[in-house]
Amino acid sequence: MGDRRKAESRKSRAQRPNTGSRKAAGSTRKQQSPEKENTTRLKPKPLTKKQSMSSSDVDTAELLIGLGTARNPMDKVFDTVMGISPEESAAIDAEQYGGGSDDESDGQAFQADDHSDSKDEEYTIVYKVPFHNATQELKLSCTTTFVGFLTAVLRKMEVGVTHLSAIGYVALYKPKNPKPVPKLLETSEDYKSLMADITEYRKYYLKKKGGGGGGGRWLPATQPAAPLEASEQHKHELMAAIEKYHACQEHMGKACYVLTLGEHYQYMNNDLVIWATLIWCDLATVDTVPDQLKVEDKINKQKRAKNAVMQTQLNGGCGPMWLQMQMPPWMYGMPPWMMQAPGSGGISQLPVPVPSPSPPCKRKYPAITAWLQALDSNEDRGADGQNYKKYADTFSAVGIIQLDDLLNVESVEKLQELMQMNWGTAKQLIKFAQEDCKKKMKAHVD
């Protein structure tokens, strides 16, 4: 009976689920109940509190929000360049993209107009100034004077005062096709014209309430010079003193040189730069015109240019002889006493005077176009195939008409800057011009 009970107990225990494992013979390990195993089970680690967003995450979120709007990213750049406040920008967006209600957009536009009127008198202009092989931004107020503008530009470019004679600008918001030509910025009148152009475009932009182009100005690159020193500021002050001392009432305060006959010669910016440099070197004074400027030669050159233009108009206005015979007398300048009265009904017996041909213009030096072609056809000078005649149009554009005009260029670097050519070609042209002029002078003396 005892064995039977043991077998049934063993069988029922084997069929019962989750009753544990049988203890092997000779094992000393204690068995644990299922309830005790559940109590010792490890719990998961609780979640930590979420940290706040970092600054980089906030910037990224703002960037993503900005990309989701309909506003063009270039509009923000233009607002910064043209000095448009955030209120004005919000009013423009409300009207252009239809954001907000009508009443709210109208109120914002009204506030923007009032704000723009108060800002018209003074705002900031951003210029793109060349610096070596890159560009830098220069921010100046619209109330900055011409001398202050030049000083700030030279400090930003880190060049000397001698580069003031070749500064130009191009408006970036104007069409790029055809390629715009830089405008020279030599006098205070040119600077006033620049400010007026910027103000007019800014008013047009605010009135139109939209648009995307960039503002500001770009100044063409010049050759870098020595870093700007403290003496350059003193030279600017000397230039201002020269303009103030020699101010002419007839020409709205511009510095002029008055001749004994009453004629005026207006000093160019390059003249003022040379004059201030000579004063800095103790070689000149403010009240006396230095001989290095060669004012008399410049005046005579201006007179010759004006007389040549007037003579060309007088000689070339009549046309060829066959055309004169078919034109009425009053068209080629017949005196009134030789013209027939309209109501006489007769034919004038006086012969029509034949205008005498104008004497040929005697030129001491050849024209620059013919001289460049002669260089190309010369066996020695044109052997390298430089094709000098391609510079003929550029010479005419800068006012170099005859060969002696080329000799008036101050240096090889100046010619290189004017003509946009390499240094070696500029040096060769000046060398050839000096040689040919010496031959002309020698032949004239003989």
340 has a pLDDT exceeding 70: no
- Structural contact between residues 406 and 433, judged by C-beta atoms closer than 8 angstroms: yes
Least trusted range by pLDDT, from 171-185, 191-205, 287-301: 171-185
Distances (CA, A) of 332 to 45, 318, 336, 358: 110, 6, 12, 15
Mean of all residue pLDDT scores within the chain: 66
Chain-centroid distance, C-alpha 192: 16
240 has a pLDDT exceeding 50: yes
Per-residue pLDDT tens digits for 270-325: 888 888 888 877 788 888 888 888 877 777 776 666 666 566 555 555 555 555 55
For 338, other C-beta atoms within 10 Å of its C-beta total: 12
Selected residue with higher pLDDT from 286 and 89: 286
194 has a pLDDT exceeding 80: yes
CATH topology of domain 368-445: DNA polymerase; domain 1 (1.10.150)
Helix axes 73-82, 86-97, angle to 10 degrees: 140
Per-residue pLDDT tens digits for 347-386: 444 555 554 444 444 446 788 888 888 888 888 888 777 7
| Bridge partner list, 258 | 264
pLDDT for position 62 = 37
Confidence band, pLDDT 50/70/90 cuts, at residue 345: very low
| Cα(213)–Cα(298) distance, integer angstroms | 43
Cβ partners under 8 Å of residue 88, min gap 6: 79, 112, 115, 116, 206
203 has a pLDDT exceeding 60: yes
Q: Is 354 left (phi over 0), alpha (psi -120 to 50) or beta?
A: beta
Question: In a 3-state reduction of DSSP, which class is residue 129?
Answer: strand
Q: In sequence order, what DSSP letters do the residues of 266-305 get, joined into one string?
A: EPPHHHHHHHHHHHHTTS--SSS--GGG-HHHHHHHHHHH
Confidence band, pLDDT 50/70/90 cuts, at residue 113: very low
Confidence band, pLDDT 50/70/90 cuts, at residue 193: confident
135 has a pLDDT exceeding 50: yes
Domain ranges of the chain: 71-228, 230-289, 301-332, 368-445
Per-residue pLDDT tens digits for 389-424: 888 888 877 778 887 788 778 788 888 888 888 888
Least trusted range by pLDDT, from 135-139, 160-164, 329-333, 436-440: 329-333
**What is Dmax (Cα atoms) for the chain?**
177
Q: What is the mean pLDDT of residues 165-171?
A: 75
117 has a pLDDT exceeding 50: no
Least trusted range by pLDDT, from 221-225, 316-320, 427-431: 221-225
| Cα(125)–Cα(119) distance, integer angstroms | 13
pLDDT for position 91 = 62
pLDDT for position 66 = 37
Say if residue 309 is exposed, middle or buried (CB neighbours under 10 Å; 0-12, 13-18, 19+): exposed
Parallel/antiparallel/unpaired status of strands 254-258 and 247-248: antiparallel
pLDDT for position 241 = 87
pLDDT for position 15 = 59
Sheet holding 183-184, edge to edge: 134-141, 124-131, 217-218, 168-171, 183-184
112 has a pLDDT exceeding 80: no
Confidence band, pLDDT 50/70/90 cuts, at residue 172: confident
pLDDT for position 212 = 43
pLDDT for position 77 = 53
pLDDT cut 90: percent of the chain above it? 0
Confidence band, pLDDT 50/70/90 cuts, at residue 150: confident
219 has a pLDDT exceeding 60: no
| Bridge partner list, 183 | 169
Per-residue pLDDT tens digits for 45-88: 655 554 444 444 434 333 333 333 445 555 565 566 556 667 76
| Cα(124)–Cα(114) distance, integer angstroms | 18
Parallel/antiparallel/unpaired status of strands 124-131 and 247-248: unpaired
| Cα(188)–Cα(166) distance, integer angstroms | 14
- Residue 122 tokens read as 């003074």
